[in-house]
A = this chain, B = another copy of it.
């Protein structure tokens, strides 16, 4: 490529790919990578000094609609791992950014990439860590009961149970058979056109409740279909007088990946051991 060499050589891997003929397709998998990357106009400044490729993700195996519940996340997780392994083996990248709010395959990807000393970051983990640097508790704005339930598991797994004020659910699920709901991406278009977005209005109500009732000091997002609201919601909250950071996953995950590359870190081999480690522990504390 004609781009100048960068210290950051990242691959961004979509959480999954819907088959070409799916009526539920929510993004293009053709054309330049910029067009395929959700909210690229927001994320672009964060990628300006990054040499990046975009992988469209593995084709879904459970059906042709978007990932939302636990089963679908498990399939997406297994599907993404060969892509991660291939990326590591290719020698082309020094950082892997897993796209998708529910970060399917995150732990497994870190396990695969750790021996290569390639950091892997993902949207839930990164948001939680950045949020914890900024305030005492964070809340999560999410879009469906099944997704929120799954997302709660991530919070527990990442040990942020005490730092999570609440998950606030808008219950605006993805379309799936037999439900012909509108794509959530429509909401963003409405907001961009200056129209009223039901999703944004609901998010504002929930964010204020999270601040006033649940003790949230930082707002984050769950499903990546809600990430577009980050600047809109931050501004709306500021208009109300709430100076509260609002985070979304892509920027956080890219940011942490850069931090890891800068510091030469990926993960502890004691947390993600290889199959036959030179040293092992008789006792592991949880």
0/1 interface trace, chain A 161-176, chain B, CB 8 Å (1 if under): 1111111110101001
The stretch among A23-31, A33-41, A90-98, A206-214 that forms the contact with chain B is A206-214
Partner pick for A245 among B108, B216, B268, B285, CB 8 A cutoff:
B268
Name the residue among A161, A274, A277 with the largest chain B CB count within 10 angstroms: A277
Interface size class of A (residues with CB under 8 A): 35 or more
With A61-B78, A156-B156 as given contacts, are A280 and B218 in contact (CB-CB < 8 Å)? no
Question: Beyond the given A78-B78, A167-B284, could you list 18 further A-B residue pairs with CB under 8 A, ordered by the A residue number?
Answer: A68-B275, A75-B78, A107-B153, A125-B133, A129-B133, A134-B268, A135-B267, A145-B277, A145-B280, A168-B283, A169-B283, A211-B281, A215-B283, A217-B271, A243-B268, A243-B270, A243-B278, A244-B270
Task: Name A's B-contacting residues (CB within 8 A).
Answer: 46, 61, 68-71, 73-75, 77-79, 81, 105, 107-108, 111-112, 125, 129-130, 132-137, 144-146, 148-149, 152-153, 155-157, 159, 161-169, 171, 173, 176, 179, 206, 209, 211-218, 240-245, 251-252, 255-256, 258-260, 262-263, 265-286
